[in-house]
Amino acid sequence: MAPNRGNVVVLQSGGPTPVINRSLFGLVDEASTSGAFGRVLGASHGMEGLLADDLIDLAAQPRGMWRRVARTPGAALGSTRRKLKPEDVPTVLQTLSDRDVRYCFIIGGNDSAETGLSISLEARRAGYDLTVVCVPKTIDNDLVLTDHTPGYGSAARFVAFATSGVGADAESMGKAAPIAIVEVMGRDTG
């Protein structure tokens, strides 16, 4: 009899970026074909789905669908900005236990990483064997000890092209409108 490898749950969290679904595709593809895990589940709308036990069997979806998802904007599982609250802990741990989830992947930014750390610490406190991995995707590029997050490059490229276009527009207007202001999101890195 094969040892129980435990199941995987994937959460998408934070603002959707061009890479949030790319990361989802990579996780589902590798986790479902590696033989290292049991079922590969996705939490609908991240933490909200985990709290409601609204989990989808991702490996059961049509194989060709994931390549399309990888090129699709938005968050295929639905995203959230909901953080783990102390009163959520028993429900989250019960959902993980009921589904035999031993690996939790959270695709997100610094708030998502903080939620992942909280889940990991609470699982350890409860004696529940759980590995939590945060997959960076933030355009903010503000995760400690991370050189460049995947979302940052695509956002920086977009901003570079947009700024170039705005600059050309302002230059062509001459004295009529010589100044353009470009505001960029990205917390401290915009």
Annotated active-site positions, please?
140
Instruction: Dump the DSSP string for 109-172.
Output: SHHHHHHHHHHHHHHHHHT---EEEEEE--TT---TT-S--HHHHHHHHHHHHHHHHHHHHHHH
* 57: Cβ contacts below 8 Å, ≥ 6 apart: 39, 40, 41
Buried b (16+ CB within 10 A) or exposed e, 97-133: eebebbbbbbbbbbbbbebbebbbebbeeeeeebebe
Sheet holding 131-136, edge to edge: 55-57, 40-43, 7-12, 101-108, 131-136
